[in-house]
Chains A and B, each alone.
Chain A
Amino acid sequence: GAVVSQHPSWVICKSGTSVKIECRSLDFQATTMFWYRQFPKQSLMLMATSNEGSKATYEQGVEKDKFLINHASLTLSTLTVTSAHPEDSSFYICSPHAGHHNEQFFGPGTRLTVL
């Protein structure tokens, strides 16, 4: 399967700070990037979808000004959690997708803990 990396794998930050999470597709070009989050003991929930060079489309209930997504290249996307609060503590998972793939691959995830 495709190789996807996320950095950092975990991060602890103080309330009010911003955190940037990077997602890279290492062996294919991702025309689309999906960002999911997963709260403890819950399933993955899609946050937003972005296409390279375009603005992201956010799912209902996800604040676009709080979760900034940049998909400037076909191999790199970033998610910035701005002014993080404890309720933003979650497991964030990216999923880059090459349009012709009939599978969806996932990054290893980033665990964010906001104190």
Chain B
Amino acid sequence: DAKTTQPPSMDCAEGRAANLPCNHSTISGNEYVYWYRQIHSQGPQYIIHGLKNNETNEMASLIITEDRKSSTLILPHATLRDTAVYYCIVSRPLSNFGNEKLTFGTGTRLTIIP
């Protein structure tokens, strides 16, 4: 699986948009970009994933560059509950009956400032 690079930490003011970057320059054509977050002492929570088109759901938006070598997770209106470690993970489709699995890097520790 392709590796990812994320800044170790970021701060964002409450109510503002939080933009979390991720570099994945060695991504393969059939690999997806997945984003998860882990709030302290909890299991990881799925946020969003995408292949090449931008994606949006009730939690966040995912912007993937045209060359697919980087992406940005956008939390449009950050709240204090969004403080967590955010993981950007690249993987072949997980819908492969357990033959693929998520490998976690060190992620970005996002702190929302009141």
Q: Which residues of B contact A45 (CB under 8 A)?
A: 104
Contact with A along B1-42 (1 / 0, CB 8 A): 000000000000000000000000000000010101010011
Residues of A close to B106: CB separation below 8 A: 43
Q: How far is the CB of B36 from the nearest CB of chain A, in Å?
A: 8
Interface size on A, residues (CB 8 A): 29
A60 at the binding interface (Cβ < 8 Å): no
A44-B44, A109-B43 known; A104 and B107 CB under 8 Å? no
Q: Indicate if A70 sits at the interface (CB-CB under 8 A).
A: no
Contact B95 A100 (CB under 8 A): yes
CB distance from A77 to the nearest CB of B (A): 12
The 0/1 profile, CB within 8 Å of B marked 1, for residues 80-115 of chain A is 000000000001010101011111111111010000
Q: Which listed residue, B38, B42, B101, B107, touches A34 by the CB 8 Å rule?
A: B101
Q: Kindly state whether residue B76 has any CB partner on chain A within 8 Å.
A: no
**B103 interface hit (Cβ, 8 Å):** yes
Of B43, B94, B103, which one neighbours A102 at CB under 8 angstroms?
A: B94
Q: Do the beta carbons of A99 and B46 come within 8 Å of each other?
A: no
Instruction: Count contacts on B: residues with CB < 8 A to the other chain.
Output: 25
Q: Which DSSP category, helix, strand, loop or mixed, fits chain B's interface? A: loop
Within the assembled complex, what's the spacing in Å between the Cα atoms of A33 and B23? 29
Q: Does B98 contact A (CB under 8 A)?
A: yes
Docked-complex contact A49 and B94, CB < 8 angstroms: no
Whether A99 contacts B96 by the Cβ 8 Å rule is yes
Interface status of A31 (Cβ within 8 A of chain B): yes
A99–B46 Cα gap in the complex (Å)?
A: 17
| Nearest-CB residue, chain B, relative to A43 | B104
Decide if A32 touches B98 in the complex (CB within 8 Å). yes
Which residues of B (44-91) have their CB < 8 Å from a CB of A?
44-46, 49, 87
Residues on A lying within 8 angstroms of B by beta carbon are 1, 4, 6, 31-32, 34, 36, 43-46, 49, 51, 91, 93, 95, 97, 99-109, 111
